A and B are shown apart, each in its own frame.
Chain A
Amino acid sequence: DVKVTQSSRYLVKRTGEKVFLECVQDMDHENMFWYRQDPGLGLRLIYFSYDVKMKEKGDIPEGYSVSREKKERFSLILESASTNQTSMYLCASRGGTPGDQPQHFGDGTRLSIL
C-alpha cells in the first residue's frame, strides 16, 4: 500500500507567520501534489512536482510556495499566513502515468490561521 504521511493533522498559526507543511511518501513516486479542500469547492491544486527540485503551479498558487529537495519529501510553505488560508490541506503522490495511475492522499492537515 502507498503510504503518504503529512507531518501534522491539526495546526493553528497566527496571521503573518511562515508556515511549513511537510509530506513524505514511501513508494519512490516521482509525482507529488498539494491541494486544499474547502466546503462546496472540492479539491483545488496548489502546486505539484514531477521531480526533485522541480515545481509547477497549480490552479491557486498565490500565497504559497513549495520545496522538493528529496524525492520522497514535498513541502508546502505559506510565506505569510492569512485567515483565508484556513483550510484542509492534502498532499498526494502518484507513480506511473497520469492516465493509468490514481493519486494517493495523505491524512490531511487542518490548518487554522487566527
Chain B
Amino acid sequence: RKEVEQDPGPFNVPEGATVAFNCTYSNSASQSFFWYRQDCRKEPKLLMSVYSSGNEDGRFTAQLNRASQYISLLIRDSKLSDSATYLCVVNLAYNTDKLIFGTGTRLQVFP
C-alpha cells in the first residue's frame, strides 16, 4: 500500500460545481498535512495547510479525519482557473521534514 494515495482523476466538472478530493495516508503517526496545487509543467504551490479542526479559505475547505486516516479538499463554486493537479502532502513526524507527496488528483473545470 502506498504511504499516500490519491485518485488520479481527472475530475471533469462544470463551472460553479462543488468538487471534493480525498487523500488517504497509511501511517497513523503522521503529524501535519498540506494541500498543494500544481499547474501543468509548473512548480507545486501551497494551497492550504490542514488543521485538526478543519479549515476554510474562501471557496476551499480542508478536513482531517484521523480515525479513518484521510484528508479531504472541497472546492465550492469551481472556476476555470481551478483546473490543476492537487497534491496531498503528509509529514510523518512533527519535527522532521519527512514529507510524503501524493501523485496528485487532476481537476478540469469546463465552461
Contact = CB atoms under 8 A, between A and B. Distances in A.
B61 interface: no
Interface stretch (A11-19, A35-43, A67-75, A78-86): A35-43
A105 B43 contact: yes
B46 interface: yes
Interface range on chain A (Cβ under 8 Å from partner): 20 to 34
Contacts of A107: 42-43
Given A48-B97, A99-B32, A99-B95, A90 B104 contact: no
Contact of A108 (B32, B42, B96, B100): B42
Nearest to A91: B43
B66 interface: no
Interface of B: 4, 31-32, 34, 41-46, 49, 87, 89, 91, 93-97, 99-104
Interface of A: 31, 33, 40-45, 48, 90, 94, 97-100, 102-108, 110
